[in-house]
Structure 1
Amino acid sequence: MKPNIELRQSRNFGEIINDSILFVTQNWKPLFKAFFIFCGFFMAGNIIFSILMQLKIVAIHKNDLSDYRRSGLSFLGIEYWMVLLFSFLNIISIITTSLCYVALYKEKGNQPPNVAEIWVYFKYYFWRVTYSVFMLGILLMFAIFICFLPGLFFVTIAGSMIGGFVSLFCVLLPMAYFVTVLTLLFPIMIMENGGLWYSFGKCFRLIKSRWWNTFGVVFVTAIVVYATYLLVALPFGVASGGSIQFLAYNVTTYLIVIYSIVISLIQVLNVLPMVTAAITYFSYVEEKESLGLWERINALGEAAAATTNADETPDEY
């Protein structure tokens, strides 16, 4: 049996991926227990309103949809907005739970934390992560608008097709860069108890000269998660003739219920990207600051001192 993973050590690309998967497999029981405890409420809400929304769509498609199309998404009602709300809060919970687990694992000397310990961290960081995601969303929309402007300029002088390609290029390239950099934001925030802007700035310092390595880690992890998602979701799409992936009509109620439950439960896969981001953070910090090396040196010194003191015997007179 392999020993528990030492988080704070330098790793290359392959070692980051392998150790991330190994960490999840070694800690899957306490990690997934914490996941379902702290994310379960939001998952349940998402399941309930997803079922209600899809049943409503089925009913609409059985009737005449033309009256509803005039009102855009409003025909979906409160169910649609509640699905969005619970999905957003579930994402926040996944980020917070996963990274708090890793932070406590590190503090406890590579030992799994219990639920009570995670709860202390979770309630402290939940609203900070929520605020940060909200602010990053605003910055992202502003950045997309700025990046889209060159495309609008080319539309006026070169036509819509060329302008569309330029707009797509001007948006996707900066977004790929910043999304890769901001992969480390929440690990920095929780591991170092940093604020949004401190964590934002340190992302760029840590990832300097390591962008392609980080992009590769993000890309491979996304492929693993998405491929597993497809393996689970594809049978339901085939069973319903593909319609359940887009608009859930002409399917049975039982299939809708099972599909909604499974798709919510499979969100547990998102633990892996969070763990990978945390291990990437520890690897880069170790390369920059060598904190893990100094911790191990100090631990060896303390152990040697304790052994020396234990071997000493008082003088006899």
Structure 2
Amino acid sequence: MKSKFTHELDFRQERDFGQKISATLEFITAHFRPLGRVLLYLVVPAVLLQALASALFDAELFGSVQGAMRGQGSTFAGLFQGGMWGAMLSAPAYWIKTILGTAAFTLLLLSVYGYVKLCLRPQLTSGEVSVAEVWAVVRREFVGTFLSAWALSFLITASFFLLVIPGIYFSVALSLFFVVKVVEGTGFGETLSRCLQLTSGKWWSTFGLIAIMLFIFYLVIVGIGISVTLFSGGLSAMFQVSRLHSPVFSIIMASINSLVLLLLFPPLLVALAFQYFNLVERRDGVGLRRLIDSLGKTTAPQATNSTYQLDEEGEY
């Protein structure tokens, strides 16, 4: 029987690999409409704004590259010697694009994990999670999560530069960072420590889950990419200009790509959430304690009959 994921104990369970994939699909199926509504109102506007900034940056970067190539005799080595990277980093559009991209990613993380956190409430059985409730979580957690995203990116990038293997290890272990931060309400240092605790001895299972989800992600991207390529060819012919010379075309294609990624990222985030609940249950047994505490506290449902009531004698 498929779970509706309307109670905390639906989440706090030990699950094997296949069960985590199944739970991810069941959760998305059960909550597709309310979660989709949250993403539509809270994340899509930021994603479209980021796509606009990305298209403007690409156009500005293209102009800088052309100038650098003309000044350096159109050689690839000369392109880097001509200071292309300096021109890119000094472009305002680059920083606007980067900041908006981080903000959109932060909104996505908080929307998905804020929704999951609200699903843990006992009273969810009487209704759906609303956009306003998720927005309250987003407002409360946005600044800390935004700054944490930058700090985490710096930490993982630095570990890759120092040695590749630590970079890979931390990338997997800290993949649970944001779900831990949102659900448990911990600070940056506490969240890092908690992630390393939970994945200790379970690093490979976490890596396997991410690898499978990314493989599915890749297959979907390839299929969508073929469709988008065919669509972009027709759209380019309609504009009668090349992709790099058409700001309108670039904005449309950047928007499509961003929206496609928006549809594909939530399943990965939800799968990581179920891995988090699985590891917490194995380590701390939170769900088991909740179940034990609830024993004897629920009132027995009163029997009702549409024909006879307690004060009726009935027919003899």
TM-score (norm 2): 0.77
Q: Find the partner of 1:281 among 276, 281, 305.
A: 276
Pairwise CA distance, 1:232: 1.9
Q: Structure 1 residue 72 and structure 2 residue 66: aligned?
A: no
Q: Structure 1 residue 129 and structure 2 residue 180: aligned?
A: no
- SS of the residue 2:277 aligns to: helix
Pairwise CA distance, 1:238: 5.5
CA distance change for structure 1 residues 61 and 237 in 2, over 3 Å: closer, same or farther?
farther
- SS of the residue 2:259 aligns to: helix
Pairwise CA distance, 1:44: 2.2
Pairwise CA distance, 1:177: 1.2
Give the structure 1 partner of residue 135 of structure 2.
Answer: 119
Contact 1:61–1:249 (CA<8 Å) still a contact in 2? no
Aligned positions of 1:178-257 closer than 5 A: 178-237=170-229, 249=243, 255-257=249-251
Pairwise CA distance, 1:58: 6.7
Give the structure 2 partner of residue 258 of structure 1.
Answer: 252
TM-score (norm 1): 0.77
Q: In the comparison of the two structures, how many residue pairs are matched?
A: 279
Q: Which ranges of structure 1 fall in alignment gaps of 5 or more residues?
A: 148-170, 311-317
Contact 1:240–1:250 (CA<8 Å) still a contact in 2? no
CA distance change for structure 1 residues 307 and 235 in 2, over 3 Å: closer, same or farther?
closer
Give the percent of matched residue pairs that are identical in Structure 1 and Structure 2: 23
Contact 2:57–2:94 (CA<8 Å) still a contact in 1? yes
Q: Find the partner of 1:307 among 288, 300, 309.
A: 300
Q: Find the partner of 2:11 among 3, 7, 13.
A: 7
- SS of the residue 1:2 aligns to: coil
Amino acid at match of 2:84: G
Distance in 1 of aligned mates of 2:246 and 2:301: 73
Pairwise CA distance, 1:250: 6.2
Contact 1:4–1:110 (CA<8 Å) still a contact in 2? no
- SS of the residue 1:307 aligns to: coil
Alignment RMSD (CA, Å): 3.0
Pairwise CA distance, 1:54: 4.1
Q: What per-residue deviation string (whole Å, max 9, x for no partner) do you get for residues 260-305 of structure 1?
A: 12111113221112111111111111112222122223333112xx
Pairwise CA distance, 1:32: 1.6
Pairwise CA distance, 1:217: 0.5
Give the structure 2 partner of residue 165 of structure 1.
Answer: none
